[in-house]
Amino acid sequence: MQVAVLQHKSFLHGSIRGLVLTMVVGVLAQNIIRIPLLSVPGPMVIAILVGMAWRALMGIPKYANTGINFASKRFLRYGIVLMGVRLNLDAIFATGPKIILLDTLIIIMAVVIIYYLGRILAVEEKLALLTAVGTGICGAAAVAAVAPTIKANQDETVASVASVAILGTIGSILYILLKPFLGLSLDEYGIFVGATLHEVAHVVAASQPAGDSAANMAILTKLGRVALLIPVTLGISLWFNLRDAGKEQSAGSQGLTIPWFIFGFLGLSCLNTFGLIPHDLTSVMLHISSLLMIIAMAGMGLSVDLVMFRRMGIKSLFIGFVGSLVISVAGLLAIRTLHF
């Protein structure tokens, strides 16, 4: 009896230490991004890298995985829910049907091309799908939303987040350099950036040097893609789980994973759209959302098997690169053709 009590206490202490460790790594990441150039990848990617480095160099305390897993899964979902206050659906719809159509086409193209390229090259199916939604929608947040619905493991999740972040960072730098040669107006350049780059941070980084007009259009276009996270996540969840249920010859709805946190995201978006959330509270909620997601990414980094990450990360990076190149070219041609 006494041994069982001691084991329980050790397990509890280890879980708390794991949770505290993810918070420490998250705080380190927030401070590291203050270094010039490291702000472009964003704190979530830095948190993953710091977590991986910590595990490789210092190891993980005994029983700490429980606390780390809690942070990487629960905190992530809470962060996504709170991220809903970022969206004002009226502002997105006001940008016009052409932009919403462009966002939709870019997402469909990215998901289809990257997913099927992954199948051709024998990339793990879940890794390819996560890389596809991260590229097509909104980087780490999209990966985080879809990963639990398809029961992806930590290695697949982290590999896709890291590869999308790397490609988006490179893309944002290239966009700035290529801007004078694209033949686009400031608003068209903003739409191009918002429709084709991965993370919100990448969109801001690539559009800000072109001025406020371009930056505003870029962010609105990007938020249109973020809004489409809701139907895409629900659609993938339904397709993936019903398909697997069919393979297992089980009843249609058995084992179906419903991403309930997406409904929380949508609910807060609607409240913000109707002006029911005070502006000051919105700022606080966004700050908490960012903090929770950074801690969650730190937990993912702390859970990564580095050998597995090297193998999976290269695959994800390659198919993500091809997909990113295709949607960039397609987005540019669409903007020139549709005359935004």
The stretch 152-170 carries a mean pLDDT of 85
Token pair of 214 as six digits? 């371009």
Q: Are 103 and 224 in contact (CB under 8 A)?
A: yes
Q: 62-71, 113-122, 148-157: which has the highest mean pLDDT? A: 113-122
Which one has a higher pLDDT value, 316 or 11? 316
Q: Are 134 and 198 in contact (CB under 8 A)?
A: yes
10 Å CB burial of residue 57 (0-12, 13-18, 19+) is: exposed
Q: Are 181 and 332 in contact (CB under 8 A)?
A: no
> CA angle at residue 301 from 127 to 141, to 5 degrees?
55
pLDDT at 2: 45
Least confident of 126-135, 138-147, 308-317: 308-317
Please state the three-class secondary structure of the chain as a single string: CHHHHHHHHHHHHHHHHHHHHHHHHHHHHHHHCCCCCCCCCCHHHHHHHHHHHHHHHHCCCCCCHHHHHHHHHHHHHHHHHHHHHHCCHHHHHHCCHHHHHHHHHHHHHHHHHHHHHHHHCCCCHHHHHHHHHHHHHHCHHHHHHHHHHHCCCHHHHHHHHHHHHHHHHHHHHHHHHHHHHCCCCHHHHHHHHHHHCCCHHHHHHHHHHHCHHHHHHHHHHHHHHHHCHHHHHHHHHHHHHHHHHHHCCCCCCCCCCCCHHHHHHHHHHHHHHCCCCCHHHHHHHHHHHHHHHHHHHHHHHHCCCHHHHHHHHHHHHHHHHHHHHHHHHHHHHHHHHHCC
Q: Are 165 and 139 in contact (CB under 8 A)?
A: yes
Q: Are 33 and 310 in contact (CB under 8 A)?
A: no
Has residue 257 got a pLDDT over 70? no
Confidence of residue 252 (pLDDT cuts 50, 70, 90): very low
The number of helix segments (H) and strand segments (E) in the chain equals: 16, 0
Task: Indicate if the alpha-carbon torsion angle 129, 135, 137, 142 is positive or negative.
Answer: positive
How much is the pTM? Answer: 0.76
Which one has a higher pLDDT value, 312 or 280? 280
Which one has a higher pLDDT value, 340 or 125? 125
Least confident of 34-43, 245-254, 265-274: 245-254
Has residue 253 got a pLDDT over 60? no
Which one has a higher pLDDT value, 39 or 224? 224
Distance CA 285, CA 221 (A): 22
Has residue 332 got a pLDDT over 80? yes
Q: What is the DSSP letter of 72?
A: I
Residue ranges covered by each domain of the chain? 85-288+305-338
Least confident of 77-91, 130-144, 321-335: 77-91
Q: Determine the straight-line distance between the first and last CA of the chain, rounded to whole angstroms.
A: 72
